[in-house]
Structure 1
Amino acid sequence: MMFKVGDAVVHPIYGVGQIIRLDQKQFTGTELRQYFQVSTEKTMVWVPVETSETIGLRRLTTRVDLAQYRSILKSRPASLNKDHSRRRRALTESLKQGSFQALCEMVRDLTAHGWRKPLGSADATLLRKTHEMLCQEWAASDGATIAHATQEIDRMLLEAKRAYA
C-alpha cells in the first residue's frame, strides 16, 4: 500500500496524522532515504517510505467501516489470560498488529476484564492508552469530536456490559 501526500494515516505509536510531505533525508551515518513527514496532533514524525507498512503505518479507518467496529465493541468480550505476564504478552502482540480491529477488541476485552475485578496498574494504563487511541481514530474517521467519539464508544461498551457481564 503506497501512501501519498495528503493521506490521513494512523501511526501505531503517535496515532492519527496526515502525510504532509515526501522528502529525502540522510541521518548521521546512513544513506539517503525517502521519508514521509507525518504531522500528528502532538508531534511531527519522519517515517521511512520503504518500511512504512512494516512499522504499522496504515490508512485511517473509513466511516463506512465503523459499523463493523460498532459490532465488535458491542459483542461478547474474549476472556483474557489470568496470568499477568502471559496476558501482557498477548495484549502487546495484539497491539503490534496495529489494526483498528485489534484496538477495538483490546479496549472491549480489557474493559470487560475490569468488570470482574479492578485492573492492575499495567492493565489500567494499557486500557487508558488504547482507549485514547481508539477514540482519536474514531473521531477522525467519523468526522466527530473526540468527546463525541468517547461517549459513543463508552455507550457501546456499557451495552456489552449489560448483555454479557
Structure 2
Amino acid sequence: MFKVGDKVVYPMHGAGIIEAIEEKEILGQKREYYVLRFPIGNNMKVMVPIDNCQEIGLRRVIDKSEVQNVLKLLRSSCTAMPANWNHRYRANLEKIKSGNIYAVAEVVRNLARRERERGLSSGEKRMLENAKQILISELVLAMEMKEEEARQLLDRAFA
C-alpha cells in the first residue's frame, strides 16, 4: 500500500514519513511494520502493522491543492456543537480519531472560536492543542514548510 518515503497521517498522532518497512517478531508472531518518523514535536518513531493500516486509518498526506480547502474550512462558520461539555468532548474526539483532515480542522476551528468567545475547560484546551498539532504536522509535510511557518499559516486563518 505505501512505500519508504511516503508521507502519511496516523490518526491521533499526526503526519509522518515512512522510514522503513521491517519484519519483526512480537509475541511469537512475525509481521511486517511501517516504521514512521514524525518530524514535528519530539521526532518520535512508531511501528504500524501493515496488515492493520486500513483499520487504523493510515492515509496519505493531502496534496498542496487541498491545503486551500482546509484553510477555507478554518475561516468558515462554526458548526453546531453540543452544549454539554462531555458530549462536545466525545464528538470532537471521534472527529480527531477519524484521521480526516477536514474533521480535525473543524475541531480546531470550533474550539478556537469557543475559546475566544467563552473559554474552554482544561480538557478542551488540551484537545485544541492536540488537534492543532495534528493539523500543523500535516501542513508541514503537505506544503514542505517549517513547523513555525505552518503554525503562522494556521493562526492567520483565524485572524
How far apart are the structure 1 equivalents of 2:51 and 2:6? 17
- Bigger mean CA offset, 84-93 vs 15-24: 15-24
| TM-score, structure 2 as length reference | 0.91
Give the alignment of 1:1-165 within 5 angstroms: 2-29=1-28, 31-41=29-39, 42-158=43-159
Larger radius of gyration: 1
Which whole-Å CA distance do the structure 1 matches of 2:13 and 2:128 have between them? 16
Identity %, equivalent residues: 29
Q: Higher relative CO (CA 8 A, sep ≥ 6), structure 1 or 2?
A: 2
Distance across 2 between alignment mates of 1:43 and 1:146: 15
| Alignment root-mean-square deviation, CA | 1.3
Q: Shift of the alpha carbon at 1:79? A: 2.5
Which 5+ residue runs of structure 2 have no aligned equivalent? none
Number of aligned residues:
156
Normalising by structure 1, we get a TM-score of: 0.88
What CA distance in whole angstroms lies between the structure 1 residues aligned with 2:110 and 2:20?
A: 37
Distance in 2 (alpha carbons) for counterparts of 1:129 and 1:96: 11
Distance in 1 between residues matched to 2:74 and 2:31, nearest whole Å: 40
More displaced 10-residue stretch of structure 1: 10-19 or 51-60: 10-19
CA contact (8 A) 1:8 1:59 kept: yes
Q: Distance in 2 between matches of 1:81 and 1:109?
A: 11
Give the C-alpha shift of residue 154 in structure 1. Answer: 1.0
* Segments ≥4 residues shifted beyond 3 Å: none
Alpha-carbon offset, residue 72 of structure 1: 0.4
Residue identity in the other structure for 1:75: S
